Chains A and B, each alone.
Chain A
Amino acid sequence: MEISIDRDSSEPIFRQVVREIQGLIRSGSLPEGFRLPPERRLADALGVNRSTIFNAYRELKALGLVDAHVGRGTAVLRAPAPIPHAIGVPWRQLFRESVARSHDPIIADLLALSEREDVISFAIGLPAPELLPLDTLAEFTAELIREVGAPAILHCPTEGHSPLRETIAQWVAARGIRARASDVLVVSGSQQGLDLVARVFIDPGDVIVVEEPTYIGALQSFRVSGAKIIGIPVDEDGMRTDILASILERERPKLIYTLPTYQNPSGVVMSIERRRHLLELASRWHVPILEDDPYSELRYEGAPLPSLKALDENDLVLYQSTFSKALFPGLRIGYLVVPPVVLRQLALAKQGADLHSSSFSQYLLERFVREGHFATHIEKVKTAYRRRRDRMAAALLKDDAIGLEFAVPTGGFYIWCHLPEGVEQSALLANAAARGVVFLPGRACYPTEPPENCLRLNFSHASEQAIDIGIARFLESVREATVRGPAKRMDGAATSPVV
């Protein structure tokens, strides 16, 4: 495969690689099924960084020109039909500038891979399917239409179905958050909450502070908004607020994004001292905090800590939670609790984005929560998830020789693992996928300069039996890709520092 690149060109090198390979495919020089050289080899041959080739291959995949399968490399799909009109559409010149920033398809790929029946997935934060309260919900839908009728499938206000807002306000009161129904904005899942907050607060070039590692979907939303994202390391007490202090002074961020409780992906709980310190800093520098709290209901041991929102005396915290984790994600309902002036702007943005969230989902949920089924359900899943967590931790310790490091989280969905030195992460991912097990590579959770040695394992979705099988497969793959060393289990209930 002949590729030439021009280092002096203003065109980024990865685009040049894309253009060259695209040309070879279009001209038929690379036939259907042709395997592109492995990323590393091409990178070496061209004398460029490996991530450049990684990005180029991704782009080719996004263009539908090649298909990449973990373990089987990247193959040419087909020569596309010639464009019928002389001019056609110069799509690339028409796309927004920020579109170039938005093409990390890793979540979509993981969702797709996780759907396969022969694969045990620890990659996605999914609730356990067998615990879903299907009978109760089925009952409800019938009653719902009898009592409510057509409004359940008609429009509802952008801010949300009023009784649901009321119910949510009461629900968060139990978490120490004082809120009126009018402070609650119903959104189409947390992802929409992140997107709306970014739309309302962030102009291109603004700075957002996040934890490092952090939730992958948040990075995605913030990148598209054109924000400059700065990561603050997390240790066993949560975000390093001492480091935050200096960043606030230097960078004057627009927003601080945090998951203080059972953080995704690290599982860490921010200590009460850090929570207070964070609030104090935010108030001193007048920076709003977006507190993302999807997991706090899923507490397996230890005393609960108050949320930032509950501690907030200055109305600086935008609180967000969702029914996707403690209940189920398919209804796509999350919510924000925010000051009225912020709510108004978020609602206007939401109206442009999707008018309102599904009425049917909202009616159904409102009833489910109000009649106490949500509370019952949480107790049920907590018992099951605690067992699964213990099962996974035990399975991971079966082979001491591998040298994995992890801490057992006290709540939430994830075990965050550190691989021993010398494990090639993409080789591991490929090897594991070939054995029928997938996980989330840790690098996806970092805003910049990701370390290569960490990964996230979800323990809520797979059954205990599947956890045993899946972790055995996982350990096999690690063993194949590793230099042997002793297994270490960290002391205490929190995850090791990730810097």
Chain B
Amino acid sequence: MQDLRASDIREILKVTQKPEVISFAGGLPASELLPARQMAELARNLLLDDGVRALQYAPTEGLEVLREIIARRLGERLGLQRQPDEVLIVTGSQQALDLTGKVFVDERDAVLCESPTYLGAINALRAYQPRFVEVPTDDDGMVPEELERRLESVDRVKLIYVVPDFQNPSGRRWSVERRRRLAEMAARFGVPVIEDSPYGELYFEGEPLPPVASFDDADVVVYLGTLSKILSPGMRLGWVTAERSLLRRYVLAKQGVDLHTPSLTQLLAARFMLEHDLDAHIAGIRDVYRRRRDAMVAALETLVPLGVRFTRPAGGLFLWVELPEGINARELLERCLELDVAFVPGGAFFANGGHENTLRLNFSAMPEERITEGIRRLGTVLSSVAMAAG
């Protein structure tokens, strides 16, 4: 097999383990917001009164109790009417992406994606050696005419991969109209859509927007969700919902890769949702992240005179920065690391490279004062780089 490309996520996880670093690099939730104490209590009780189930094998599809809760949540929160047997529990949405590759992607197949798109998806799918075709994307999502042109002209299109809610890395949210048109176009061309929505519940104002899957009456959308951003990333719990016969393919693929997702974590998550108020917990997360976004936006405003442009996302964990042409974000990162500030250079998020003057900033993991301080340091480095460049 071909050498896999050294990965940026891997480097990120390493850097962010040092406590002195002000990290805007991870996609981590704020650790003080994790319900660790409640989890400990729940886990203890779970082992005492349902321990056997928690430690034995489970069906590949996932444990019924969790599938029921997720199906209900999909209906209540997103208007997706799903039966529990239309939900497959997976080991984090990373696994859902990998299974997607296993089910659909042969070498040289084409995968249409946003520009930029999620790095983890590129990594997961790259193992199956597709061609990534970037579809021009504006603030409202993929541009429909551009998408249509590619659906007509690109050979062997297997998938359209999208993150319509507060996308990682750009923070962009697709408009309702674009969602509707994507579902319509995918049905017309008979090409499945992988709708990855890890951040859908993290909106800072108003209501969640209907997922692409809610406009899908041709069973063309595979919808992926996760508990990583709203409960715990370390438990590795996500789900896939799709039309039954298709979902069956995912189940068989999963059986070959890890038999099933750990029973203990499945039951733990189910208990949390039954005994605690997950919605209240999420509301708490939103409040904290909203304040952090505000702090980062305010700090970044001071860098505008240096030619910095950035997005002001209405939710999620990330915002996206464009530096003046000619400044390379990878070089900038090296200088910033000397000052204990980390971020992810944006070039990594483009399936086919380029865009070296962009970067992704995470605002969820650091408290406001560290955000302000980190952006100040970033500004210091930036002005010295700009000065050197003349």
Binding site for B on A (CB under 8 A): 62-64, 83-85, 87-91, 94-99, 102-103, 105, 107-108, 111-112, 115, 124, 126-127, 129-130, 132, 134-135, 137-139, 141-142, 144-146, 149-158, 188-189, 191-192, 195, 199-203, 217, 220-221, 224, 328-332, 345, 347-349, 351-361
Whether the pair B257, A192 counts as a contact (CB closer than 8 A) is yes
Q: Is B21 an interface residue (CB 8 A)?
A: no
Q: Is A145's CB under 8 angstroms from B36's CB? A: yes
A330 to B120, CA, bound (A): 26
Quick check: is B285 within 8 A (CB to CB) of the other chain?
no
List 18 additional contacts besides A150-B32, A153-B234; criterion CB under 8 Å. A89-B192, A89-B218, A98-B106, A108-B59, A108-B252, A115-B59, A137-B47, A145-B40, A149-B36, A151-B234, A154-B34, A191-B259, A192-B257, A224-B253, A331-B263, A351-B9, A356-B236, A360-B39
- Residue from the list B59, B218, B248 in contact with A112, Cβ < 8 A: B59
In the complex, are the beta carbons of B41 and A142 less than 8 A apart?
yes
Task: Pull 6 A–B residue pairs with CB atoms less than 8 Å apart, ordered by A.
Answer: A84-B217, A102-B256, A332-B258, A354-B92, A355-B120, A358-B264
Chain A residue at minimum C-beta to C-beta distance from B193: A89
User: What is the minimal beta-carbon distance from A366 to any residue of chain B, in angstroms?
Assistant: 14
A355:B9 contact, CB within 8 angstroms? yes
A89–chain B nearest beta-carbon distance, Å? 5
Contacts of B59 in A (CB 8 A): 108, 111-112, 115
* Interface residue range, chain B: 35 or more
Point out the residue from A98, A108, A329, A349 that lies within 8 Å of B251, measured CB to CB: A108
Per-residue contact bits, chain B 121-152, to A (CB 8 Å; 1 contact, 0 not): 00110111000000000000000000000000
Minimum CB distance partner of B120 in chain A: A355
**Contacting pair B256 A95 (CB below 8 A):** no
Give the chain B neighbours of A348 by CB distance below 8 A. 4, 6-7, 10
B123 in contact with A94 (CB, 8 Å): no
Residue of A nearest to B35 (CB): A153
B81 at interface, CB cutoff 8 A: no
Segment 25-52 of B: residues with Cβ below 8 Å from A: 26, 28, 31-32, 34, 36-37, 39-41, 43-45, 47-48, 51-52
A interface footprint on B210-245 (CB within 8 Å = 1, 0 otherwise):
000000011110000000000011111000000011
CA distance in complex: A108, B58 (Å)? 10
Cross-chain contact of B94 among A98, A115, A354 (Cβ < 8 A): A354
Which residue in chain B gives the minimum CB-CB distance to A132? B55
- Among B55, B61, B102, B106, the residue within 8 A (CB) of A330 is B55
A88 touches B190 (CB 8 A): yes
Q: Does B387 sit within 8 A of A, measured CB to CB?
A: no
Q: How far is the CA of A22 from the CA of B158 in the complex (A)?
A: 24
Contact partners of A353 in chain B: CB under 8 A = 94-95, 98, 124, 257
**Minimum CB distance partner of B217 in chain A:** A84
Query: Is the beta-carbon distance between B248 and A62 smaller than 8 angstroms?
Result: yes
CA distance A13 to B137 in the complex (A): 46
Known: A64-B245, A84-B217. A155 touches B234 (CB 8 A): yes
Residues of A within 8 A of B128 (CB): 96
Q: Which of B9, B104, B124, B258 contacts A189 (CB 8 A)?
A: B258
Q: How close is B250's CB to chain A, nearest CB, in angstroms?
A: 10
Q: By the criterion CB–CB under 8 Å, are B56 and A85 in contact?
A: no
On whether the beta carbons of A124 and B57 are closer than 8 Å, the reply is yes
Given A129-B52, A191-B259, the answer on whether A155 and B94 have CB atoms closer than 8 Å is no
On chain B, the residues within 8 Å of A355 by CB distance are 9, 92, 94, 120, 236
Shortest Cβ gap from A227 to chain B (Å): 12
The CA of A85 and the CA of B103, in the complex, are separated in Å by 23
Indicate if the CB atoms of A195 and B255 lie closer than 8 Å.
no
Taking CB as reference atom, which chain B residue is nearest A138? B47
**CA A105 to CA B60, docked complex, whole Å:** 10
B55 touches A95 (CB 8 A): no
Known: A354-B91, A355-B94. A220 touches B255 (CB 8 A): yes
**Residues of chain A lying within 8 A (CB to CB) of residue B235:** 153, 358-360
Q: Which residues of chain A come closer than 8 Å to B104, judged between CB atoms?
A: 94-96
Question: What's the nearest-Cβ distance from chain A to residue B100, in Å?
Answer: 10
Q: Which B residues from 139 to 190 make CB contacts under 8 A with A?
A: 158, 187-190
Give the nearest-CB partner of A203 in chain B: B1
Distance between A404 CB and nearest chain B CB, rounded to angstroms:
27
Contact B248 A357 (CB under 8 A): no
A199 touches B252 (CB 8 A): no
Please determine whether A202 and B51 come into contact, CB atoms closer than 8 angstroms: no
Closest chain-B Cβ to A367's Cβ sits at a distance in Å of 13
A359 to B91, CA, bound (A): 12
- Give CA–CA (A195, B102) in the complex, Å: 11
Given contacts A87-B187, A158-B10, contact A352 B94 (CB under 8 A): yes
| Nearest CB on B from A225, distance (A) | 9
Binding site for A on B (CB under 8 A): 1, 3-4, 6-7, 9-10, 13-14, 17, 26, 28, 31-32, 34, 36-37, 39-41, 43-45, 47-48, 51-61, 91-92, 94-95, 98, 102-106, 120, 123-124, 126-128, 158, 187-192, 217-220, 232-236, 244-246, 248-249, 251-253, 255-265, 268
The answer to whether A154 and B232 have CB atoms under 8 Å apart is: yes
Contact among B1, B3, B53, B234 with A358 in the assembled complex (CB-CB below 8 Å): B234
Interface centre among A199, A330, A331, A358 (most CB of B within 10 A): A330
Interchain nearest-CB distance for A321 vs B (Å): 16
Does the CB pair A195–B103 fall under 8 Å?
no
CB pair B257 A129 closer than 8 Å: no
Q: Is the CB of B102 within 8 A of A188?
A: no
Q: Which of A90, A111, A115, A220 has the most CB of B within 10 A?
A: A111
Partner of A154, one of B9, B31, B262: B31
Name which residue of chain B comes closest to A96, CB basis.
B106
Q: Which residues of chain A have C-beta atoms less than 8 A from B246's C-beta?
A: 91
How many angstroms between the C-alpha atoms of A165 and B32 in the bound complex?
Answer: 27
Output the residue of A111, A154, A189 with the most chain B CB within 10 A. Answer: A154
The docked-state distance in angstroms from the alpha carbon of A126 to that of B53 is 12
> Contact: A345 with B4, CB < 8 Å?
yes
What's the Cα separation between A124 and B60 when bound, in Å?
Answer: 14
Query: Quick one: given A64-B244, A153-B36, are A220 and B256 in contact (CB under 8 Å)?
Result: yes
The CA of A330 and the CA of B233, in the complex, are separated in Å by 19
Min distance, Cβ A188 to any Cβ of chain B, angstroms:
5
Task: Give Cα A356 to B228, complex, Å.
Answer: 13
Q: Which residues of B contact A135 (CB under 8 A)?
A: 48
Query: Given A108-B251, A129-B52: A199 and B127 within 8 A (CB)?
Result: yes
Measured between alpha carbons, how far is A91 from B247 in the docked complex, in Å?
Answer: 11
- Of all chain A residues, the one with the shortest Cβ separation from B51 is A134
Report the minimum CB–CB distance from B264 to chain A (whole Å): 5
Q: Evaluate contact between A153 and B56: CB separation under 8 angstroms.
A: no
Residue of B nearest to A105 (CB): B252
Closest CB in chain B relative to A491 CB, distance in Å: 35
Q: Which residues does chain B contribute within 8 Å of A91, judged by CB atoms?
A: 192, 245-246
Contact B28 A154 (CB under 8 A): yes
- Which residues in B have their C-beta under 8 angstroms from that of A360? 39, 43, 232, 234-235, 264-265, 268
- Cα A283 to Cα B48 with chains together (Å): 50
For residue A184, give the distance in angstroms from its CB to the closest CB of chain B.
Answer: 17
Q: Which of B3, B7, B55, B102 contacts A331 (CB 8 A)?
A: B55
Contact assessment for A99 and B103 in the assembled complex, using a CB-CB cutoff below 8 Å: yes
B258:A192 contact, CB within 8 angstroms: yes
Complex: chain A residue closest to B7, CB-CB: A351
Q: Is A349 a contact of B236 with CB atoms below 8 Å?
A: no
List the 10 closest A-B pairs by CB distance, nearest first. Answer: A145-B40, A359-B234, A134-B51, A330-B263, A153-B232, A330-B55, A328-B55, A141-B43, A138-B47, A85-B218
Bound: A217/B258 CA distance, A:
10
In whole angstroms, how far apart are the Cα atoms of A130 and B26 in the complex?
A: 42
Minimum CB–CB distance for A22 against chain B, Å: 11
A87 pairs with B188, CB closer than 8 A: yes
Please state if B40 and A146 are interface contacts (CB–CB under 8 Å). yes
User: What's the nearest-Cβ distance from chain B to residue A58, in Å?
Assistant: 11
CB distance from B284 to the nearest CB of A (A): 15
